[in-house]
Amino acid sequence: MLFMEPFWILMDIVRDAADEEDEMRGDPAYVQCLYCRGFVEKAEVKRRGGCYLCGTPGEEIAKLARQRRGERENRRNNPYRTKCSNCGAVVVAKELREKGCYICGRKPTDVE
Ligand SMILES: [Zn+2]
Ligand SMILES: [Zn+2]
């Protein structure tokens, strides 16, 4: 248990990945449950040891949170995706080299 991050902190980390339900996101007293996607009071989650909306225990939520975080990191480090230096669109690296950016048409080999 010593090196385990508390699950409500993990819930917090994953919060920024959520793209809906904006109202409560800015409130530090609330976290979003990864299972039911409901916003729950952090203190209450801590006290009850899990999500009190869907009844998912903290360990389960923490497991899912780590998994999600890993997926997100993988996506970020994905060598097949790159950013177009011209318009900033995320494009497939191979396609950018061969055909140019699908948004602005610029190839990385083009000269300014
Ligand atoms: Zn829940
Ligand atoms: Zn572009």
Report the alpha-carbon distance of residue 102 to residue 110 in Å, rounded: 15
Q: pLDDT digit string (tens) for 72-104?
A: 887 777 778 888 989 999 888 888 989 999 999
Name the band, by pLDDT with cuts 50, 70 and 90, for residue 66: confident
Name the pTM for this structure. 0.49
**Distance, CA 75 to ligand 2 centroid (Å)?**
20
**Distance, CA 56 to ligand 1 centroid (Å)?**
6
3-state helix/strand/coil string of the chain: CCCCCCHHHHHHHHHCCCCCCCCCCCCCCEEECCCCCCEEEHHHHHHHCECCCCCCEHHHHHHHHHHHHHHHHHHHCCCCEEECCCCCCEEEHHHHHHHCCCCCCCCCCCCC
Q: Would you say residue 14 has pLDDT above 70? A: no
**What pLDDT score does 100 carry?**
92
Per-residue pLDDT, averaged over 45-53, amounts to 92
